[in-house]
Amino acid sequence: MITATVISGFVLALTAPLLTRWRSSLAGYILTLLPLGLTTYFALQVSSIAAGQHLVESFAWMPSLGIHLSFYIDGLGVLFALLISGVGTLIVFYAGAYLAGNPQLGRFYLYLLAFMASMLGVVLSANLITLFIFWELTSITSYFLIGFEHEREEARSSALQALLVTGIGGLALLAGFLLMGHVGGSLEIRELLNQADVIQAHHLYKSILVLILAGAFTKSAQTPFHFWLPNAMEAPTPVSAYLHSVTMVKAGVYLLLRLNPILGGTDIWSLSLGFFGAVTMVTGAAMMVVQRDIKRLLAYSTVSGLGTMVFLIGLNTNTALLAAVVFLTAHSLYKGSLFLTAGAISHAAGTRDLDQMGDLARHIPLIALAAILAGLSMAGLPPTFGFIAKESLYQTVLGAPQLTIILTGIGFFTGITMVFAAGILAIPPFFGKSPNPATHHHSLPIHLWLGPVVLAALGLLIGIAPQLVAHSFISPVLQSVNPPAQDIHLSLWHGFNPILFLSLLTIASGGIAYAFRKPLLQFLAVGARLGRIGPLQWYYLILEGVKSFAQWQTQILQGGLLRRYILIIFLFAITTVMVTMFQHNGFGIKTELLSIRFFELTICLLMLAAAVITIRSQSRLSAIVAMGVIGYGIALMFILFGAPDLAVTQFIIETMTVILFVLVIYRLPRFVRRPAKYIQARNALVALLGGGLMTALVLAALNAQQGSRLSAFFKANSYLLAHGRNIVNVIIVDFRGMDTLGEITVLALAGTGVFTLLKLRPREEDDVCDL
């Protein structure tokens, strides 16, 4: 059943384009049913999981490598699965109206549902390799979704940026997983949980940690990799809400939580997570306050939020992990709501610029309600879930055994910026003066307000009654993240204590900053220029560097002169083969094998003569015919040594080659300026070396053949297993059929390659390729 929940998304994704073509207006409703069903399914599992039951499923995939298609649902899994399917339901529903009339809507559903299924795969996988595959699938679907409006240059380059950053992180992650599997002796996460001590004591622990953190940090946009996330705002807003705030960017956080019992608890774990998390928290918050584009502002606040989660996981106390989970849930609800609000605003008012908005509460009151509720949660004001999250954060930093002042300062600063940002998001656009009152406003269908209102209302509901989730959700998550289980307590009111005092101070400071926002923003705009020397610039520098390096080495190796290509290939082969032969003392030749018959001698002499003619000839045609003679000589040799298959093939190939050359020669200039003497000498030297080496290699191969058991196997089994008496052919089509499949694929590519080069050249009069 768990497997079905993952697979069903992919299946439905494939049918989405057809469904959309069939009934565009109905498709949204029909496609919403799947995430809705999944949400129900996961919700039904909550109580049994809270009771300590974990669902497990496993199918053998590549058992010899320890790779299984295995899934399980525990507290952590079910929290994420519900976020993914629940928010997914609202997003699919929302997208139908947001992108109504878009001719690519079917394709959009395809990517979105495939993403949802991949993301479910990530959080439900019980095998590291399965997890990695779904992890990469989320990167790929995210690439398609960011670049959905692919006519725009920015959308394409942002999509590529996100793919490169998360993709390189993904490669590191794979290496980390493999190392961890090697050290822990299994790729199954549940088995690795028992190996935590072994892994942490191993000398590869640090390498594993660095590689896995590289994967998690790139995915979850930690500084200095955070720059792809704001640029990913080129995606349609439902995508930003879903992938880039609620789900995909939290995959890194998920991984850290998931692996906390295996890798966590060490000093280096706490130090790296704490450091990178804190830096990201502050960077995101600082970049956030100066944004005027509503989506970019939300993106930077997401960066800061992700930093907060990583930071809290790094602190690694019970309180800290509880705070991380609570913050993650609260963040998903309010950030998803705010993004969808932003989408609704741009749909209704046609702008994403905060300066262009005003007085929207009159036109879209429900959106204003959602924005205010979500804003309260973001600012951490009671009685919302966000308030509880912030209280937990403050409780953690105030209770930290070391660096209490610094940690509290970081949390406090971020808290103030969140109050400030929530203010400018939720108040002026809806209640401020409209800069252009004459703007026409579209009315909003239910699709566009349902999502933000539901998410924001949930944030409020959980805030008022946190006991709804404390024992059923949060406690099982903590059991997965930091076993054994503990009793937890969530509430709005903790009494008069330093935490409450700090909260009040945060709200007051944020409120003051909001009141003086105009001069403050003018002042900060100066500082914003500093962003221009940030990691985004490093990314471009590296990308340009790679490109120009590629260009430089291509120019050297593949300058367009065929002679040069052949020279390089030969020299390379000669060097490598010669070094190997010297190393293994491979020049020993068995003289008793060198008896020569009269026929062979005659053919050899003929071939030698033909070779001389090829070199000395003044016309291309006779050179080619002479080459043909050499080929025929080889074919005769095959006959003499009892290989009729090879001989026939060689004869036909030689003939074809001559035909081919004749066809090409037509187009070449008459003949041939002979190159300078020293170049001829160089070519001759390379040719002699190559020929000599081949001779030595063939003679050496005679020795090596003695030990081979392969030909004996082929001889013995050709008829028994493959029902064929012609061993050569049986090898080609049966024993080594996979090789042949590869070879004919190459042949097919070569054929179509020639066709493409000759037929699909851009015509001279138009520079557009005529495809």
Partner 1 sequence: MRSLILATATRILMPMLLLLSAFLLLRGHNLPGGGFIGGLVAAATFILHSFAFGPQQTVRLLPISPRGIIGSGLLVATGSGVASLFKLKPFMTGQWKLMEFASGQSLHLGTPLLFDIGVYLVVLGATLIIILTLAEED
Do 243 and 320 meet the contact criterion of CB atoms below 8 Å apart?
no
| Chosen residue from 26, 569, 640, 748 binding partner 1 by CB under 8 A | 748
Amino acid in the structure at residue 217: F
Q: Which stretch binds partner 1 (CB under 8 A): 622-630, 647-655, 676-684, 705-713?
A: 647-655
| Chosen residue from 663, 676, 712, 768 binding partner 1 by CB under 8 A | 663
Assess 638 for contact with partner 1 (CB under 8 A).
no
Assess 194 for contact with partner 1 (CB under 8 A).
no
Q: Is the dihedral of CA 97, 100, 102, 107 positive or negative?
A: positive
Assess 658 for contact with partner 1 (CB under 8 A).
no
Q: How far apart are CA 376 and CA 460, in angstroms?
A: 9
Q: How far is the CB of 283 from partner 1 (least distance, A)?
A: 49
Q: How far apart are CA 513 and CA 506, in angstroms?
A: 10
Q: Which stretch binds partner 1 (CB under 8 A): 109-117, 166-174, 479-487, 754-762?
A: 754-762
Q: How far is the CB of 624 from partner 1 (least distance, A)?
A: 14
Do 56 and 124 meet the contact criterion of CB atoms below 8 Å apart?
no
Q: How far is the CB of 744 from partner 1 (least distance, A)?
A: 4
How many residues touch partner 1 under the rule CB under 8 A: the total is 41
CA dihedral 33, 109, 446, 421 (to 10 degrees): 120
Assess 649 for contact with partner 1 (CB under 8 A).
yes
- Contacts of residue 657, defined as CB under 8 A and 6 or more positions apart, other chains included, come to 627, 628, 631
* 634 alpha-carbon distance from chain centroid: 51
Q: Which stretch binds partner 1 (CB under 8 A): 300-308, 353-361, 372-380, 740-748?
A: 740-748
In angstroms, the Cα distances linking 218 to 135, 251, 272, 341, 413 are 12, 10, 14, 27, 24
Assess 664 for contact with partner 1 (CB under 8 A).
yes
Assess 747 for contact with partner 1 (CB under 8 A).
yes
Nearer to partner 1, 186 or 649 (CB): 649
| Chosen residue from 667, 670, 677, 763 binding partner 1 by CB under 8 A | 667
Q: How far apart are CA 203 and CA 213, in angstroms?
A: 17
Q: How far is the CB of 762 from partner 1 (least distance, A)?
A: 16
Do 175 and 211 meet the contact criterion of CB atoms below 8 Å apart?
yes
Closest to 60 in 3D by CA, of 202, 221, 188: 188
Q: How far is the CB of 4 from partner 1 (least distance, A)?
A: 21
Nearer to partner 1, 543 or 732 (CB): 732
Nearer to partner 1, 104 or 649 (CB): 649
Nearer to partner 1, 464 or 656 (CB): 656
Assess 750 for contact with partner 1 (CB under 8 A).
yes
| Chosen residue from 33, 604, 744, 769 binding partner 1 by CB under 8 A | 744
Assess 762 for contact with partner 1 (CB under 8 A).
no
Nearer to partner 1, 571 or 748 (CB): 748
Assess 680 for contact with partner 1 (CB under 8 A).
no
* 429: preceding bond cis by omega (within 30 degrees): no
Tokens of 576: 């490598």
Q: How far is the CB of 288 from partner 1 (least distance, A)?
A: 52
Show contacts with partner 1 in window 198-257 (CB under 8 A).
Answer: none
Q: How far is the CB of 387 from partner 1 (least distance, A)?
A: 57
Q: How far is the CB of 756 from partner 1 (least distance, A)?
A: 9
Assess 656 for contact with partner 1 (CB under 8 A).
yes
Parallel, antiparallel, or unpaired: how do β-strands 67-73 and 55-62 relate?
antiparallel
| Chosen residue from 759, 765, 766, 771 binding partner 1 by CB under 8 A | 759
Give residue for tokens 């700090």.
Answer: 502
Tokens of 721: 């297993």
| Chosen residue from 353, 716, 752, 769 binding partner 1 by CB under 8 A | 752
Nearer to partner 1, 438 or 758 (CB): 758
Closest to 704 in 3D by CA, of 575, 588, 583: 588
* 535: preceding bond cis by omega (within 30 degrees): no
Nearer to partner 1, 579 or 721 (CB): 721
Q: Which stretch binds partner 1 (CB under 8 A): 153-161, 287-295, 393-401, 730-738?
A: 730-738
* 484: preceding bond cis by omega (within 30 degrees): yes
Nearer to partner 1, 58 or 346 (CB): 58
Q: At what angle do helices 24-50 and 105-124 cross, to 10 degrees?
A: 10
CA dihedral 252, 51, 186, 194 (to 10 degrees): 100
* 375 alpha-carbon distance from chain centroid: 32
Q: How far is the CB of 741 from partner 1 (least distance, A)?
A: 6
Show contacts with partner 1 in window 381-420 (CB under 8 A).
Answer: none
Q: How many Cβ atoms sit within 10 Å of the Cβ of residue 125?
A: 26
Q: How far is the CB of 652 from partner 1 (least distance, A)?
A: 4
Nearer to partner 1, 604 or 754 (CB): 754
| Chosen residue from 644, 675, 691, 762 binding partner 1 by CB under 8 A | 644
In angstroms, the Cα distances linking 76 to 115, 124, 315, 431, 484 are 20, 9, 19, 40, 14
| Chosen residue from 648, 704, 765, 767 binding partner 1 by CB under 8 A | 648
Nearer to partner 1, 551 or 726 (CB): 726
| Chosen residue from 612, 688, 754, 769 binding partner 1 by CB under 8 A | 754
Assess 520 for contact with partner 1 (CB under 8 A).
no
Assess 751 for contact with partner 1 (CB under 8 A).
yes
Q: How far apart are CA 405 and CA 418, in angstroms?
A: 20
Q: How far is the CB of 702 from partner 1 (least distance, A)?
A: 24
Q: Which DSSP helix (H) or strand (E) runs through 177?
A: helix 153-184
Q: How far apart are CA 584 and CA 586, in angstroms?
A: 5
Q: How far is the CB of 747 from partner 1 (least distance, A)?
A: 5
CA-derived radius of gyration, the chain = 34
Question: Three-state SS for 71?
Answer: strand
Q: How far is the CB of 656 from partner 1 (least distance, A)?
A: 6
Show contacts with partner 1 in window 55-74 (CB under 8 A).
Answer: none
- Contacts of residue 444, defined as CB under 8 A and 6 or more positions apart, other chains included, come to 344, 347, 348, 364, 366, 367
Per-residue DSSP letter, 360:
G
Q: How far is the CB of 396 from partner 1 (least distance, A)?
A: 53
> 446 — phi, psi (to 5°)?
-55, -35
Q: How far apart are CA 77 and CA 85, in angstroms?
A: 12
The binding track of 690-729 with respect to partner 1, each residue x by CB under 8 A or -, is -------------------------------xxxxxx-xx
Tokens of 180: 């961890």
Do 163 and 139 meet the contact criterion of CB atoms below 8 Å apart?
yes
Show contacts with partner 1 in window 464-493 (CB under 8 A).
Answer: none
Using CB under 8 A, list all residues that contact partner 1: 644-645, 648-649, 652-653, 655-656, 659-660, 663-664, 666-667, 721-726, 728-730, 732-734, 737-738, 740-741, 744-745, 747-748, 750-752, 754-755, 758-759
